[in-house]
Amino acid sequence: MHQAPNAMMNHGGHEVISMRETLSASIGMLNHAIILREHVQDPELLDILDRQYKFSLDEYNITVEAFRSGLDPSHPTGSYQMKLNHNFTYGLQPSQPKKPMTNASELNDEMISGYLLGGHKTIASGKTMTALETTNPVVRRVLADSIPNCIEMAYELSLYQNKHQYYQVEQLNGQDMQTLLNSFAPGQNQPMQ
């Protein structure tokens, strides 16, 4: 079995390629935030974008640091704290049908918050897939620690969208809801002999 000569070389080839994809996706999302920022109209969305950008940039930097060195980064992964409450409004209200833009001037806060939400969902999936096959324990931990932050930022954007009726949450009728809620039961503690 071949031993790596130093900390920088304790990465597998698949890991390095996956990390390139993950870090490139992070750059893409950060770049999108910069491009979209000047088009934001709502001060609340601008605050979310700015806070998430600052947090995501720091997380990107410590991930790069750990990846390049194979060692602990200069500071641990933080924990993103959103400002919105956790109250969703359920139900559907009539709204205009969604359709593709025909002109860039149609860009609005609904679209911007949707692009940012989609970016966090993509990054969370990419970091999860990469962490599952990362051989360097430090890089794996940095990735794993950052996934809950992606989830929290996406959740904050979905709350923002729901608050402004950009994202409506439908519910099933009472009988269907009860049927589905009761369609699972706890498993037994003892394995079958």
67-126 pLDDT tens trace: 999 899 999 999 999 987 888 888 888 888 888 989 999 999 999 999 999 999 999 999
The Cβ-side half-sphere exposure at 137, using a 13 Å CA radius, reads: 0
Q: How much is the pTM?
A: 0.87
Tokens in use for 53? 């950008």
Instruction: Place 188 in a pLDDT band, splitting at 50, 70 and 90.
Output: confident
Cβ partners under 8 Å of residue 106, min gap 6: none
Please state, in angstroms and rounded to a whole number, the distance separating the CA atoms of residues 176 and 180.
6
Supply the CATH classification number for the domain 8-82+107-180: 1.20.1260.10
The vertex-163 CA angle with 179 and 173, nearest 5°, equals: 20
**Confidence (pLDDT) at 190:** 79
Cβ partners under 8 Å of residue 117, min gap 6: 154, 157, 158, 161
Which region, left, alpha or beta, applies to residue 70 given φ > 0 means left and ψ of -120 to 50 means alpha?
Answer: left
| Cβ-based neighbour number of residue 29 at 10 Å | 21
pLDDT averaged over every residue in the chain:
90
Domain ranges of the chain: 8-82+107-180
- In the predicted structure, residue 60 carries a pLDDT above the cut 60: yes
For the stretch 41-75, what's the b/e string if a residue is b when 16 or more beta carbons lie within 10 angstroms of its beta carbon? ebeebeebbebbbebbeebbebbbbbbebbeebee
